[in-house]
Structure 1
Amino acid sequence: MSTDEIDEAIDWLGEPVHCETCPHNALLEQEKCRPLRACLFDRYARRIDRFFDWNPEIARHYLQHPYFEVRACAAKAAEIFLLPAMLDDPEEAVRWSAARRLPNRYLLKLRNDPHREVRIRVAHRLDPIDLLPMIEDRDYYVRQVVARRIAPDLLILMIDDSDIEVRRVVAQRIAPQALKRMTADSDPEVRYEAAQRIEPAQLGDLVDDTDWRVRYEAARRGELKDIGRLVADADPIVRETAEARLGVTADGSRKSQTYELNHTHVEERL
């Protein structure tokens, strides 16, 4: 349900809102506020936000209000030179509300913000070169964002990250000359990501990998001289891929030149 559909005017302390005692009640006659629609003292953020949208000149007076939603909404409308001080607000919603309007240099202060959502947003906005201090962030998702955005040459610094999903992103983007190291990763998902990008000449070292997807990639793209043993692979897709490329079966007989691998079946398993 939208907050505007809630038929009550309650303030942040749970008390009814009374227009007659509001210090801004003159705005009511000017249609610059409206009960249940645009109200500074309503507890619903959308109504507070709308009030400051209609009356931005008032926002500067409420940057220290005890209700965090008022401070967060006021930060969206107040003069920008007042916002740096709000980066120290105890509420993450207020800190980000201020930060999103400030130049990126102010975001540097929030790279170590205690709240993960703030750090995630910061990681999305900062210039890639400014993300280096965040490669060891305590939150895995922050590190994922960093891995997606920093320069590929710098991903070598994240190659041993503790999180599998972070390492998968690294394998998808890291400079080609560093991919070989990732084919020895302890996780098959990471090895498969690396195998899809590694040079064909290096795939020969992966024909004995324990994961069928990695061996399939070797059979699919590896040099013919390296994939002979895969015609006897335990996995049917790996075996058939090697047979199709070499034109022979495990017993040495020639395969029909019209043979085609069922790629739909491969995609379903992958």
Structure 2
Amino acid sequence: MEAQVKLTADDIPSIDWRGEPITEASCAGCVHARLRASGGCEPGRSCMQDAYARRIDRFFRTWPELANEHLAHGYFEVRAIAARHAELFRLPALLDDPDETVRMQLALRVPQRLLLRMIHDPHREVRIRVAQRIEATALPSMLKDPDYQVRQTVARRLPEALLPLLMHDVDLQVRLEVARRLQMPSLWRMVEDAAPEVRRIVAERLPAPLLDALATDGDWTVRWEAAGRALGHVLERLLSDEEPEVRERAAARQAELECTHG
């Protein structure tokens, strides 16, 4: 029986990507057998034939110049990790790779002209990475992406002048990002957002003289946020709010203003 390579500190069996044990004989037949002979790889720790991604990664970190040779490997982990180290001009061949793990690596490395070809990738994680890297001028092409996390990423990077295009997005997380960045006068248009979480952010950022509408908000947490910044008649109204937490916050705001103005 062939001697199987021993387990290492990783405590994971040395199995190749086809599910076969890595043995002394399989190492001898490997295309990189010469590297083992010189100590350049170590089965069970650094091996590109292993199914364990960490061992594949160790191999290519040691031998990045071999990455180009394995971009068409049958195992997706090998292709994905090789793509981290391969020369850029070799990466376009992987744009239509069947595995999203490989395409995610491409989205982190390819130049902008190729990144544009990935904005409609079928996998959301790939498109999220595209949205993180694509030039701001190209972000509008992803405004209607079907996945909310892609649109949320777009909202974080979109030029401020275009943010109103997402203020009515169907997803709360997207609108929260918009509310955190949107400037006046467009911010005022979000005081009627359906979600109190959004209106609370608006109450944090809206100019104090414009907090009137939020002082009568149906959600007490929005009124509480407004009470911390209110002035004049708005503050007077919140001092008699039906919720004790809001009245307490308003009283603290009043005391703050009195102290400031002597």
Band of TM-score, shorter chain: 0.7 to 0.9
Counting only pairs closer than 5 Å after superposition, residues 147-186 of structure 1 correspond to structure 2 as 147-186=155-194
Query: Which of 11, 17, 26 is the matching residue for 2:16?
Result: 11
Kindly provide the amino acid, as one letter, of the partner of residue 13 in structure 1: R
1:195 aligns with 2:218: no
1:79 aligns with 2:87: yes
Residue 22 of structure 1: aligned partner = 30
SS at match of 2:164: helix
Kindly provide the amino acid, as one letter, of the partner of residue 145 in structure 2: D
TM-score (norm 2): 0.85
Distance 1:116 1:136 in 2: 13
Q: 1:2-29: CA deviations, max 9, x gaps?
A: 9961353211111122112223212211
User: Bigger shift: 221-230 or 76-85?
Assistant: 221-230
Counting only pairs closer than 5 Å after superposition, residues 1-270 of structure 1 correspond to structure 2 as 5-17=10-22, 18-243=26-251
Q: 1:111-146: CA deviations, max 9, x gaps?
A: 211111111122222222221122222111221111
SS at match of 1:88: coil
Deviation at 1:246, TM superposition (A): 6.1
Residue 3 of structure 2: aligned partner = none
For structure 1, the 5+ residue unaligned runs are 248-256, 259-270
Is the contact made by 2:167 and 2:190 (CA closer than 8 Å) also made in structure 1? yes
Q: 1:65-86: CA deviations, max 9, x gaps?
A: 1111111122222222111121
How many pairs are equivalent? 248
Residue 267 of structure 1: aligned partner = none
Q: 1:54-111: CA deviations, max 9, x gaps?
A: 3333322221111111111222222221111211111111112233232233222222
Distance 2:166 2:10 in 1: 47
Inter-CA distance 107–231: structure 2 relative to 1 (3 Å threshold): same
Inter-CA distance 25–230: structure 2 relative to 1 (3 Å threshold): closer
Distance 1:244 1:12 in 2: 65
User: RMSD across aligned C-alpha pairs, in angstroms?
Assistant: 2.3
Deviation at 1:242, TM superposition (A): 4.0
Distance 2:228 2:58 in 1: 58
SS at match of 1:221: coil
TM-score (norm 1): 0.83
* Percentage of pairs with the same residue: 49
Inter-CA distance 211–38: structure 2 relative to 1 (3 Å threshold): same
For structure 2, the 5+ residue unaligned runs are 1-6
